Structure 1
Amino acid sequence: MTDLREKLTDWDPKATTYKPVIYLFAVAAATAVALSIGFLGTITWQTVGWFISVSMILLGMQKLRDIESFTTMFLNYDVVARKWVPYAYIYPWVETGAGILMTGMLLKWLSAPAALIVSTIGAWSVFKAVYLDRRELKCACVGGGSNVPLGFVSLTENLAMMGMSIVMLLQIVV
């Protein structure tokens, strides 16, 4: 079937693509808008928070779908996982769990620091691998086996998670 698809179209299973990330973020955005209009009657700053938290859930689920493949890719660039392999197995659970708690605005004292820790490590890991070491790697952000390049999208994902974590931590203090 794959051979036929390649012959009849220009489809290349090894080609770099951003489609999985685009689709995932589109679903997260639509969900955030639906939550905002359904619960708040309008689009507010909470919509952005829901977009980030729902994205975290969806991205985490993609990683958990095939955790072995994810960890293999993740070990190529994550600075903590390269030193302590169990972190690669913990990361998707933290991302998914923090996203669920953040969507419900529950246990901020737990979800915000957890997300801040993994996203800060993730942002540094991506920045180091792509921009300092100049390595061309595939991103494990949508799970293993994807052809999404590691770089701007991965860094932005981690920075958004960091930002949301900081905002939630500030809500606890204020």
Structure 2
Amino acid sequence: MKHTYNISGMTCNGCRTSVENKLSEIDGITSVSVNLEKAEAEVVMKEHISLKTLQNALPPKYSISEKRETNIFSSSENVMQTHEQSKFQQLKPLFLIFLYIFIASVLLNFKTWNGSAFMLDFMGLFYIVFSFFKMLDLKGFPESFRMYDPLAKVFPPYAVVYPFIETALGLMFLMRFQIEIALIATIIILGITTIGVTQTLLSKKKIKCACLGTALNLPMTEATFIENSIMLFMAILMLLKLYFL
């Protein structure tokens, strides 16, 4: 079932992220989407959860009240098609960013093509662009990131410094500084994150992806897994070239 609630007390993206994360932690809830401008939260749950339970899960500064209820299991084929279109629209920014990074990397190496240089530029631009979006909301990002990253869950300060780690790695790739260290760090960092993403996808629990921070409301999907896999593949391939070629 899908319930829509009014949420009062939210003033920024950090508040929105906090409400999404707190409600997502409740057993039986599979998806939470909060609209800051409308002060609303759409909550999909396996079975009815009382308003009191939802309120107790939120910090005292937020107040929740029910607005309306719809049954998602009565959706028709047309509704499912609309859902798929909406999902594509949500992921459109991610696809566009990947396209721009790819084109920029090609143009940087167009005159004297070098596959290794292309991959280093791609990884460098990837880190710089993605860290930029995370830094737009340094307060809200850590809470979203801890929802699925295994290391951030057990060591919260890691989520706070993660955007800065991405920036540093991006500069190292673009400036060709300590490439070997940057590649090893990429494999470790994205490897850990990919484990968390895989676990989330297998559990079929719908949460927000923090890959572009909290500025954009992106769902955790197979696209997140693919994005990490591409970076991991490039890092492993480049490391193998350094050692064996």
TM-score, reference length from structure 1:
0.80
Matches of 1:156 and 1:97, distance apart in 2: 23
* 1:31-86 deviation line (CA, Å, top 9, x unaligned): 11220115x2x474543442233122211111122121111111111111111101
* Structure 1 residue 113, shift from structure 2 partner: 1.2
Equivalent residues, number: 159
Q: Is the 8 A contact 2:149 2:196 kept in 1?
A: yes
1:1-174 superposed matches below 5 A: 16=87, 17-38=90-111, 40=112, 42=113, 44=115, 46-131=117-202, 133-174=203-244
**Match for 1:147: what amino acid?**
N
Gap change, CA 1:136 and 1:101, over 3 Å in 2? same
**Whose helix proportion is higher, 1 or 2?**
1
Gap change, CA 1:120 and 1:108, over 3 Å in 2? same
Q: Is the 8 A contact 1:72 1:144 kept in 2?
A: no
Matches of 1:75 and 1:68, distance apart in 2: 12
Matches of 1:135 and 1:143, distance apart in 2: 19
Gap change, CA 1:105 and 1:167, over 3 Å in 2? farther
**Whose strand proportion is higher, 1 or 2?**
2
TM-score, reference length from structure 2:
0.59
CA RMSD of aligned residues (A): 2.2
- Unmatched 5+ stretches in structure 1: 4-14
- Unmatched 5+ stretches in structure 2: 1-36, 39-85
Q: Is the 8 A contact 1:70 1:144 kept in 2?
A: yes
Instruction: Calculate percent identity across the aligned residue pairs.
Output: 26
Matches of 1:104 and 1:126, distance apart in 2: 30
